[in-house]
Structure formats: C-alpha cells, structure tokens
Amino acid sequence: DAGVIQSPRHEVTEMGQEVTLRCKPISGHNSLFWYRQTMMRGLELLIYFNNNVPIDDSGMPEDRFSAKMPNASFSTLKIQPSEPRDSAVYFCASSFSTGVPRTDTQYFGPGTRLTVL
C-alpha cells in the first residue's frame, strides 16, 4: 500500500512568493495532520482535519498560513506571502480514527523541505 504522499519534496522560493504544499493521505484514513519541523522548535502540529473538517488550527502561526482539505484524498498547506522564517520541513500525517476516544496512530509522509530566500 502507498503511504502518505507529499509534493514537492523540495521547494525553494523567494520571500513574498506564494507556496503550496500538497498531501495525499493513506487511502481509508479519515484524519490528516500538518506538522512543521525546525531545529529551534522541533515538531509542531499546525492543523488537523477529521473527515475533511478542520478541527484544531491553533498551531497555525499566523494568517499567512492556510490549509484546506477539499476531499478525503487531498490536502494543501499554503503560505502567502512566504518569509525566510518559514523555512522548515513540513510533514503531513494521516490516521484512521474509529471514534472516541481517539487512540489512532499517525503515519507520516516524507516531508517537504521548504527554503525561503
């Protein structure tokens, strides 16, 4: 089975440009998570979706960041305008939740390394 798929794997852009990161979760999974990894702050949860609905976006750093999940097999994380401090590795993860309480295991994609010059 294919795991979580992320694209692109690497992105280099200039400050002020719009960046869109893409994620395809594991087929059948109903939850999707976006994380950011930096040396300074480690792994941070930005937002997660359950059944395509955003549940917790308290980790989204500011209004420049937005995430969508138009259907069960696709999600995007957009940064507009991008800034050098957004440089990081962005991970997407998915899981299958059977209800409450939630105890599902998250499976991660390979990440997108974003560099903003």
Partner 1 sequence: AQTVTQSQPEMSVQEAETVTLSCTYDTSENNYYLFWYKQPPSRQMILVIRQEAYKQQNATENRFSVNFQKAAKSFSLKISDSQLGDTAMYFCAFMKPSYSGTYKYIFGTGTRLKVLA
The residue ranges that bind partner 1 (CB under 8 A) are 42-43, 45, 48, 50, 55-56, 89, 91, 93, 100-103, 105-111, 113
Q: Smaller CB distance to partner 1: residue 42 or 70?
A: 42
Q: Cis bond leading into 81, ω under 30°?
A: yes
The residue type at 90: Y
Minimum CB distance to partner 1, residue 16 (Å): 26
CB of 106 to partner 1, least distance (A): 7
Neighbours of 1 (CB within 10 A): 5
Nearer to partner 1, 71 or 103 (CB): 103
Q: How far apart are CA 60 and CA 112, in angstroms?
A: 17
Q: What is the token pair recorded at 27?
A: 């087929």
Strands 19-24 and 10-13: unpaired
- CA neighbor of 102 nearest in space, from 25, 42, 29: 29
> In terms of CB distance, is 70 or 99 closer to partner 1?
99
Least Å distance, CB 67 to partner 1, is 15
Nearer to partner 1, 17 or 38 (CB): 38
Minimum distance, C-beta of residue 81 to partner 1, in the bound complex (Å): 25
